[in-house]
């Protein structure tokens, strides 16, 4: 009787409250609205929120899978614990999901081993044993490097990269990075890619900065014209800054050497130029602040752009739906309201005009955030007066025939030369 009473007392006053608190904690953590992200805006003091994608079962991130594979915990189902089978497989898998950074001494040791073991007895290439964390020695320098990488942006990290494709045929780390950068469409039936040459068609995609980091040569980061990366061939979108040294070779003796604007018809016939502007508008449509600024320019400054106020809404819609771009790539050189440019400009002068810059918030002649139009339009972009990056070297000497500004295009003001 006493024992039964003690058991009941423990159950009602100990176990029941404990389970009650556990259920309450579960409800707090797992109920309510979960699919959203939020930040604190330091400028306004406001909390800003937006809906996020709903979570899917077994939808672990690449970072979570990498940590699980590196840690290699012993996960065994049982005793009411039934983890997803794919997580158990990841923990046991030998396919590493992370790149291993190593100290100089470790790198020297690995390279020596690679040289000694790269050729087998029969003269055939042999596989090098997979490196594991236990094969490397801790290094404060490497840990500080990883800390820097964690807080840096892409255009900060590309300063230290060489303008060379990673050797994906021999480098397991590079192969892994390439797969991470290019295989986002695997769930849609695409195969896994092994070499940079197989993914060149992705180089001009806005969301492939990691691919341009890994395959800068294939993506044309060092080319001024006909670059596969085209508009996105800049450090902000993954191209190593070292690739800019390749510009000079092309400027001194290539297709970008002449100091004259391309003919207006090139914008209709040249595939690279058409791709450039398609990519530029893809970028513009991805930036809400640019679209908001364009809406302000088209509606509140319509008179400066020679757009009738009663057509400003239609004008902005033509920017959004692509009809403005389509019209001008077809050689009609129309402003959004269907009339000619306010100053009758076409070709390079059209795209370099202050009216287009004001309307789009994009200065195609700049050479900072994206690939400049200067190699195609050096005269309209002011290379004769200002010079600067990505300007043909011929513009710094005597003007070439036909390189003077065309009628209706005022000469650019003279300002001190700068690296930009």
Q: pLDDT tens, 189-230?
A: 455 677 788 888 889 998 888 888 888 999 999 888 888 999
Q: Is the pLDDT of residue 375 over 50?
A: yes
- Model pTM above 0.85: no
What gap in Å lies between CA 378 and CA 404, rounded to an integer?
10
Q: Is the pLDDT of residue 417 over 90?
A: no
Which residue range(s) make up the domain with 314? Answer: 266-396
250 assigned to some structural domain: yes
- Give the contacts of 384 (CB within 8 A, at least 6 positions apart): 259, 378, 395, 399, 403, 412
DSSP 216-242: TTTTTTT-SSS-SSGGG-SGGGT--GG
* 244 in the same domain as 199: yes
What gap in Å lies between CA 62 and CA 318, rounded to an integer?
39
Of 203, 232, 256, the position where a domain reaches its end is: 256
For residue 141, what pLDDT band results from cuts at 50, 70 and 90? confident
Q: What is the mean pLDDT of the chain?
A: 75
* 215 in the same domain as 275: no
What gap in Å lies between CA 377 and CA 23, rounded to an integer?
67
User: DSSP secondary-structure letter at 273?
Assistant: H
375 assigned to some structural domain: yes
* 380 in the same domain as 315: yes
pLDDT at position 126 is 42
pLDDT at position 232 is 92
Residue 208 CA neighbour count, 13 Å, CB half: 27
* 351 in the same domain as 283: yes
Of 205, 225, 256, the position where a domain reaches its end is: 256
Enumerate the β-bridge partners of residue 48: 39
pLDDT at position 187 is 44
* 283 in the same domain as 391: yes
For residue 397, what pLDDT band results from cuts at 50, 70 and 90? low
25 assigned to some structural domain: no
3 assigned to some structural domain: no
* 296 in the same domain as 205: no
Largest alpha-carbon pair distance within the chain?
112
Which pair of structure tokens corresponds to residue 313?
């809404």
pLDDT at position 337 is 66
What gap in Å lies between CA 358 and CA 351, rounded to an integer?
11
Q: Is the pLDDT of residue 38 over 60?
A: yes
Q: How many domains does the chain have?
A: 2
pLDDT at position 259 is 85
* 391 in the same domain as 271: yes
* 340 in the same domain as 236: no
Which range has the worst mean pLDDT, 57-66, 222-231, 339-348?
57-66
What gap in Å lies between CA 254 and CA 126, rounded to an integer?
41
* 287 in the same domain as 171: no
DSSP 284-334: HHT-HHHHHHHHHHHHHSTTTTT--GGGHHHHHHHHHSSHHHHHHHTT--B
What gap in Å lies between CA 213 and CA 178, rounded to an integer?
10
Q: Summarize pLDDT for 150-160 with one digit per residue, the tens.
A: 776 666 677 77
* 273 in the same domain as 204: no
For residue 273, what pLDDT band results from cuts at 50, 70 and 90? very high
119 assigned to some structural domain: no
408: left (phi over 0), alpha (psi -120 to 50) or beta: left
Residue 344 Cα distances to 281, 340, 341, angstroms: 22, 6, 5
End-to-end CA distance of the chain: 91
* 202 in the same domain as 244: yes
pLDDT at position 130 is 63
User: How many other CB atoms are found less than 10 A from the CB of residue 183?
Assistant: 14
215 assigned to some structural domain: yes
Of 236, 256, 276, the position where a domain reaches its end is: 256
Q: What percent of the chain has pLDDT over 70?
A: 70
69 assigned to some structural domain: no
352 assigned to some structural domain: yes
């Amino acid at each position: 009787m006493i024992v039964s009473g003690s058991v009941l007392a423990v159950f009602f006053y100990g176990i029941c409250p404990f389970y009650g608190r556990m259920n309450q904690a579960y409800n707090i953590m797992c109920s309510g609205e979960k699919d959203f992200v939020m930040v604190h805006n330091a400028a306004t003091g406001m909390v800003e929120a937006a809906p996020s994608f709903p979570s899917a079962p077994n939808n672990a991130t690449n970072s979570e899978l990498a940590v699980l594979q590196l840690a290699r915990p012993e996960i065994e189902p049982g005793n009411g614990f039934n983890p997803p089978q794919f997580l158990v497989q990841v923990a046991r898998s030998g396919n590493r999901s992370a790149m291993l950074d190593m100290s100089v001494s470790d790198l020297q040791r690995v390279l020596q081993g690679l040289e000694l073991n790269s050729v087998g007895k029969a003269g055939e290439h042999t596989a090098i044993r997979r490196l594991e964390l236990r094969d490397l020695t801790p290094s404060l320098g490497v840990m500080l490097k990883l800390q820097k990488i964690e807080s840096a942006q892409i255009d900060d990290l590309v300063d230290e990269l060489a303008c060379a494709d990673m050797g994906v045929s021999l480098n397991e780390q590079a192969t892994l990075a390439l797969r991470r950068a290019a295989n986002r469409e695997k769930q849609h039936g695409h195969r896994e890619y092994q070499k940079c040459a197989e993914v060149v068609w992705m180089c001009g995609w806005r969301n492939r900065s990691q691919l341009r980091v890994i395959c800068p040569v294939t993506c044309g980061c060092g080319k001024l014209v006909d670059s596969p990366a085209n508009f996105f061939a800049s450090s902000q979108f993954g191209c190593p800054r070292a690739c800019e040294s390749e510009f000079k070779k092309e400027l001194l003796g290539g297709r970008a050497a002449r100091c004259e604007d391309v003919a207006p018809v090139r914008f209709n016939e040249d595939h690279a130029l058409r791709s450039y502007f398609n990519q530029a508008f893809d970028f513009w449509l991805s930036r809400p602040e640019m679209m908001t600024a364009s809406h302000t320019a088209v509606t509140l400054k319509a008179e400066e752009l020679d757009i009738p106020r009663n057509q400003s809404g239609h004008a902005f819609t033509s920017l959004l739906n692509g009809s403005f771009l389509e019209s001008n790539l077809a050689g009609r050189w129309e402003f959004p309201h269907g009339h000619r440019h306010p100053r009758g400009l076409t070709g390079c002068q059209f795209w370099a005009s202050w009216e287009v810059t004001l309307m789009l918030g994009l200065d195609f002649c700049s050479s900072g955030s994206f690939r400049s139009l200067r190699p195609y339009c050096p005269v309209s972009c002011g290379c004769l007066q200002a010079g600067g990056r990505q300007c043909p070297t011929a513009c710094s000497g005597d003007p070439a025939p036909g390189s003077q500004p065309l009628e209706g295009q005022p000469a650019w003001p003279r300002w001190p030369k700068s690296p930009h």
